[in-house]
Amino acid sequence: MTTLVIAEHDNKELKGATLNALAAATKIGADIDLLVMGVDCATVVTAAQNVSGVSRVLVADHGCYGEQLAENVALLVAELGVDYRHVLAPATTHGKNVMPRVAALLDVSQISEIIDVLSVDTFKRPIYAGNAIATVQSDDRVKVITVRCSSFDAVAQADSVSASVVVLPQQHDAGLSVFVSASLAVSDRPELTDAKVVISGGRGLQNGDNFSLIYAVADKLNAAVGASRAAVDAGFVPNDMQVGQTGKIVSPDLYIAVGISGAIQHLAGMKDSKVIVAINNDEEAPIFQIADYGLVADLFTALPELESVL
Ligand code: FAD
């Protein structure tokens, strides 16, 4: 019994989310093959070989996988998947794009965003925006699974190469999509989903310019910056900063919510944070019910004070 894990990467670096998905695969208890699909991705392959617990790195290094278009890579994953009992990917934007296609091609049900592995066929996953946890048992021959990264501690990367490499000849071009361009936000700050500290702003910030108060504190704490959906919908900040049910799921050591009321859809994205701090001028705000530390204050006074003492 072997498990196939899909590597997340940008043809240069193996992304941290892969290490969390591998931790879930390790809990299943089988040998692990890690699949790297891309083009000119030799550095990723070397990094993949160094990951603890990986037996083999399967490499499909062809132009048709260069941008990892879901239509193309899903064909390869499904073709390989028939020989595995489990196929796992991180529940990132990429994983969520690819894995439903894989499940459909294999004619099985996807098991989405698992947060725990109870046995080879039984998993825990959140439902109702994280307000209930379902225990799901699957009889499918191949279990196609996405993994909530914040629920599994990343496996280690070793210094020495241990996994062997298998080069795959298959070149699948579905002919359904063409990569045109990517416009990526560039930031010196830590990635929101990887950061140890996250500070998020909500509608209480009133406009995008006032987010400079959040950035100033974030710079002092080497924190990533997030936002509520209300702040995103109002155009204060871009939507890749949204934390919550329909945004990113984070579980940093410290989460600071500023001018955020604490709607359940926001809590769904951050309530697993180890320490939660809330700054809000309404002492009745629901965010205080889950906060470890609450400051009832005007954020326009509290944030500059916080920045000055850091
Ligand atoms: P508000 O609820 O308006 O709260 C603003 C807060 O700022 C208030 O508590 C107020 O007291 C405080 N405040 C105002 N001025 C100050 C000041 N000067 N100093 C200090 N505090 C101040 N939301 C998400 O965040 N993420 C999601 O992924 C998400 N997904 C959703 C999915 C669905 C299907 C639906 C229906 C909703 C979703 N929402 C999501 C929206 C969610 O329900 C809330 O509307 C949203 O989280 C509210 O954002 P907010 O807390 O910034 O705004």
Q: Whose CA is nearest to atom 13 of ligand 1?
A: 204
Mutate which of 225, 266, 300 for ligand 1 pocket (most atoms within 8 A of beta carbon): 266
What digits encode the pLDDT tens for the residues 93-107?
A: 999 999 999 999 999
183-216 residue pLDDT tens: 877 778 888 988 999 999 999 999 999 999 999 9
**pLDDT tens-place string over residues 213-231:** 999 999 999 999 999 999 9
Tell me the average pLDDT of the chain: 95
Q: Is 271 in the pocket of ligand 1 (CB under 6 A)?
A: no
Confidence class for position 275, pLDDT limits 50, 70, 90: very high
Question: Stretch 232-245: mean pLDDT, rounded?
Answer: 96
pLDDT band for position 150 (cuts 50, 70, 90): confident
> What string of DSSP letters covers the chain?
-EEEEEPPB-SSSB-HHHHHHHHHHHHHTSEEEEEEEESS-HHHHHHHHTBTT--EEEEEE-GGGTT--HHHHHHHHHHHHTT-SEEEEESSHHHHHHHHHHHHHHT--EEEEE-EEEETTEEEEEETTTTEEEEEE---SSEEEEE-GGGSPPPPBPSS--SEEEE-------SS-----------SSPPTTT-SEEEEE-GGG-SSTTHHHHHHHHHHHT-EEEE-HHHHHTTSS-GGGBBSTTSB----SEEEEES----HHHHHHHTT-SEEEEEES-TT-THHHH-SEEEES-HHHHHHHHHHH-
* CB of 228 shorter than 6 A to ligand 1: yes
pLDDT given for residue 36 in this prediction: 98
Residue 137 has pLDDT above 90, yes or no: yes
Top-confidence residue, 141 or 131: 141
Q: 0.85 exceeded by the pTM?
A: no
CA 290 – ligand 1 centroid, Å = 15
